[in-house]
A = this chain, B = another copy of it.
Amino acid sequence: MSPTPARTSRARVVDAARALLEEGGPEAVTMAAVAQRVGVRAPSLYKHIRDRAALLDAVAIDAAEELGRTMTVTSAGAGADPGSRIAALAVAYRAFARRSPRSAAVLFADLGHGTGAPVEVAARAAAPVIDAAALLVGPEAALAAARVLTSFVYGFTTMEQAGAFQLGGSVDDAFRLGVESLVRGLAAADHGMRVGDGRLNPPA
């Protein structure tokens, strides 16, 4: 008679998958385990998502959106100094990577063959970094500087979570050293394009 109402939803399915990812890594994200978490049988999931690959993509997008919100909030609450804005964003990313290490590891691991949507979401998460970088090095070099900063923070947190820093020493100090050195070095770098009133001037 009346069609049965949905017993779950795409959002619940994605949440369950993300929780399983964090608890046991990608291999723990089986369709049966996800289904059990949302109180349904595995075949029902296909009414909400195309297949397992799309589910993992959705998890990555979900994590990227959360990261984007965190970065935006952090940016809004930071002071005017470019260096401290960048440091605040770096610390915020590191906190995210600690809260959701497996999601963070998966953030930039796949993008290539995805639906294309992740790229937009990642761009939104990157926007506050580009803004802060622009304050430090000017608009022309902002994108390159943001790539540099993002690479360092992503690389550092990924290696840290993977347990790659096992030779002793303070990992916190190394992180601070990296952020400070980058801020200093980027500010000092010759971007070869700002002269006088800021109009573009190509390098010789």
A185-203 CB contact bits vs B (8 Å, 1 = yes)? 1101101000000000000
Name which of A110, A126, A152, A168 has the most chain B CB atoms within 10 A of its CB: A152
**A79 near B: Cβ within 8 Å?**
no
In the complex, the count of this chain's copies comes to 2
Bound CA span A189–B182, Å: 10
Min C-beta distance of A67 to chain B, whole Å: 13
**A87 near B: Cβ within 8 Å?**
no
**Given known contacts A143-B169, A144-B170, A185-B186, A178 and B151 CB-to-CB distance under 8 angstroms:** yes
**A95 near B: Cβ within 8 Å?**
no
**Given known contacts A158-B158, A174-B144, A119 and B182 CB-to-CB distance under 8 angstroms:** no
A contact residues, total (Cβ < 8 Å):
50
**A91 near B: Cβ within 8 Å?**
no
For chain A residues 133-174, which have a beta carbon within 8 Å of chain B?
141, 143-145, 147-148, 150-156, 158-159, 161-171, 173-174
Q: Is the CB of A174 within 8 A of B152?
A: no
Interface SS of A by simple majority: helix
Min C-beta distance of A190 to chain B, whole Å: 9
Closest to A106 in B: B109
Chain B residues within an 8 Å CB radius of A189: 177, 180-181, 184
Q: Is the CB of B109 within 8 A of A105?
A: yes
Chain B residues within an 8 Å CB radius of A182: 152, 178, 181-182, 185
Bound CA span A154–B160, Å: 12
**A183 near B: Cβ within 8 Å?**
yes
Bound CA span A71–B164, Å: 18
Q: Is the CB of A162 within 8 A of B123?
A: no
Q: Is the CB of B158 within 8 A of A108?
A: yes
Chain B residues within an 8 Å CB radius of A111: 162-164
Q: A residues near B, CB below 8 A? A: 105, 108-112, 119, 122-123, 126, 141, 143-145, 147-148, 150-156, 158-159, 161-171, 173-174, 177-178, 180-186, 188-189, 191
